[in-house]
Structure 1
Amino acid sequence: MSLPQRLLAVWCPDWPVIAAGLAEGVPAHLPAAVIAANRVVACSAIARVAGVQRGVRRREAQARCPELTVFASDEGRDARLFEPIAAAVEELVVGVEVVHPGLVVVPVDGAAGYFGGEQALAELLLDQVSAHTGVECQIGIADGLFGATLAAHRSVIVQRGSTKDFLAPLSVAVLDQPDTERTELVDLLRRLGLRTLGAFAELTGRDVVSRFGTTGLLAHRLARGQSERPPHRRRPPPELSVGQELDPPLDRVDAAVFLAKTLAGRFHAGLAAHGLACTRLGIYAATERGEELSRVWCCAEPLTAQGIADRVRWQFEGWLNARNRPTGGAVRLRLEPEETVEGASLQLGLWRGGMSEQDERAGRALVRVQSMLGPESAFTAVLDGGRGPAERARLVPWGDRREVTSPPEMTWPGRLPAPSPATVFAEPVPARVTDAAGQAVSLTRRQGFEAPPSMVTLPRTKPRQVLDWAGPWLVEPRWGETGGCVRIQVLLAGEPELAVLLTGTFQESPKWTVEGVYD
């Protein structure tokens, strides 16, 4: 069995927190955490000492550490600020590949021989990164990307051929690395009693495939200290490279974002037509002043079109915002598949299904609309969490990540019960709600009606009789001293009958508005 390539990994612990602190000017000695979807995705060492952990809710993290500084997750920021670190490593060693912001790998053999051994190379790179960027990092050396990454997490140099023994006592949880989707596999392995990589590695490949499928087989190779995929990968045909001349020269990040989407779509479609997917992406650019820029991104999983676009965008943000940024705008951009694998299993759909011809045509049409009218001209919807219908539907520009910022399954006190209105107004429509005596409907301190609603008057219409109603429901979980806000659903008489969602605000006097209309 041939060993995987021997790699050196340079890892910056808690990089999302460090990058956020650098961007916001927050000192590194203060406790800080990065939040995504209302949960901690990264935190500083001092925050961990105070009890903050990845995965806890924001409110719980702040309760454990009241002085915690909270940052929003921003992958573009992380990548942009990581570029100087990759450049510092590249000054000493050729072949630098960015795995994700916070981690780069380089081949060891040539550089170690030149600098006097692996230990000397690691020490030299530590000094190089610290002197040029002021950022602390850890270095590990092992066979293969997976082993080198875990070695960097522990600041160790694993002897050649001993990566399997190094991995054996580690928890199977380390299989769930960034850019992978192995959470379910890790949970299943734990339930089956396979809690270490060594225990998982003892299974035969046939048993792993029959029980865990392709995902399990790839993870099993990693647990055994092998490459995730066999070393004999297909050499990409030269025509799969995609390039574009840029006129006028590209020197703005917003223009780079739009370019990344269109070019990544062409690049991914060309690979898919040959049954391939990219695992190492080369990004090459030339400026109007003759400068040549290049960076290779190495990925644990084959890249989707969105993944390619993200890396192109991140790289341009790094180049354009670096201290030693290019002196001219980019006039030429080229994407090259440095390494490919069979991509049939990666044909993800436009809307989570299989990538059909109709899906591809729809995607191209949306990109065409954006090219004519701008990136903010085509949207898709994401269902978020929230109390009201307007809060739950969020529009995302086509091509951007459709990430949930507030999980719908969370507990939302005061959430409007089903069904939700079919039409929600961007601006609430004023209304008048009166009781049988013609007085404006108001609420008691116990949040009940003084008198039930009898008539509703909408703009430019005659008053309508209330046939039925439901509620009231508090918009906020607490009723303030000066009043509060409630929602009610009402069915109005007329031809045709009309069901609406009304919101009432009660302070000095009742004020009603129409928030939505039901079909």
Structure 2
Amino acid sequence: MDEPVRTLLLWCPDWPVLAAEIVDGVPATGPVAVLHANRVIACSERARAEGVRRGLRRREAQGRCPGLTVVDHDPGRDARAFEPVVAAVEEVAVGVEVIRPGACALAARGPSRYLGGEEAAAERIVEHVALSCAVESQVGVAAGVFAAGLAAREGRIVPPGGTPEFLAGQPVEALGRPALADLLRRLGVRTLGDFAALPAGDVLARFGFDGALAHRLAAGRDDRPLAARRPPVDLTVTADLDEPIDRIDVAAFAARTLAEQLHERLAGHGLACTRLGIEAVTAHGQELHRVWRHDGLLTAAAIADRVRWQLDGWLSGARRGGDRPARPTAGIVRLRLLPDGVLAQAGLQPGLWGETGAERERAHRALSRVQGLLGPEAVVTAVLGGGRSPADQTRLVPWGDERLPTRPGGRRVGSGPAVPPWPGRLPPPSPAVVLPTPLAASVLDATGAPVVVSARLAVSAPPARLSIGTMPPQLAGPTPAPGSAPSATPSSATPSSAAALRGGTVGWVEIVGWAGPWPVDERWWAPAEARRRARFQVRLADGTALLLAVESGRWLVEAIYD
């Protein structure tokens, strides 16, 4: 069995009493008792001299000590008062875990190596806490948190390998479980050594899971490893400028210097930045703030570029019109960079012919440059998602924002293809161009009569001719005779109906192929939002493929296929 990590534990005796003195001003030198559920959980040295002990009821404690000052237990007060003690320990050794208010632990290996041994480290920590917080404390060192806590009560440093022997001589009351300790004593088990010698299976069967955990502690095995709380690292870099900056070239130099400092600080901790906060303070006290997001890792050059672009945007704001903010009323006197999002830097293998992702990085820089000049909404990218129509399946998001679809997409079953969770969704392929506003159209059959789709999705006749942006034949005049050529043939009207769609008008064109209808009946339970339509895919004589829809008896062109 591997021995637990050597642990250094600092313990402050009677901490609830000291916390009451620190926060509420109750003198700890007098007879004081802290009560919870009408029982004493901590008392001062003066109260113990009068016979007060933990576990006594309030009436019995006051009977033994008539001048006893009673304080209600407040865990929040104990934790607030203990925080300065933890901070003082962290000034000497990092990696502190708070066990409870009044006790904190850390791995003994680090401070013992650079302070000259475990005994020297313990003395240094106790002295520093006394000087910084005026609090008396004791330190114990042993293998594991539980054993170190018992050693701290004696102010003892257990030698390496001696933890099992140290625990074997402790009474069963050291487990902190009064009911279990009373039962063990009635069974003839009086020390932790006797308890640890019992078979683990029998202990679990007789005393349950809590008894099994206590059995592990008695044998010198902690229930979990030490989870050290490391103090947060301040990664922010700040530059106080001697002269206010109001020129772009001077701002660029300051941005490059500050970016290199931030990148070096991050690299020193093995981190990389993915989201950068830029703050600026002007000579008039105006505060400016902007956050830049990046889906990769920001290098020193990338950080410098974003700071320079942002300063350019702030300092030249008056030269752009519209609703964009004007430039600051004074020069910038302070710059601050805050790595708002960081992650571990795993490194990147350079490519054989130049850096990997160089082209992508150039694209990032160009698009981010445009955002710095025109705003974050000036550059958008499409995100594919779910939906029944092409317009519902695409969402435009600003460059650098999280690419999350508005509606969930398909789901994958086993190793097969994705299954769309949208009944009535169009089959592939998807259209290449989705029109922002559908265009009105007219569809005729071979006899020149309008094509109608009934409520039961029955098509009156196969579609034969299509016109976009023109009046229906009932209002436009005579309809082309059956079998005659359209008024504008594909060869004489336009090179392509898809190109003519940009003008919003296409003359009569022959339909040579079609598929559908695909019905959609959405939000029928909400009459104000209900929408019912049928869609068709048609191919024209000039090679153009369109997505049509019939809604309330009207034909519409929604999208164009390649």
TM range (shorter): 0.3 to 0.5
TM-score, normalisation: structure 2: 0.41
With the length of structure 1 as denominator, give the TM-score of the two structures.
0.44
Greater Rg over alpha carbons, structure? 2
Q: Which has the higher contact order (CA 8 A, sep 6+)?
A: 1
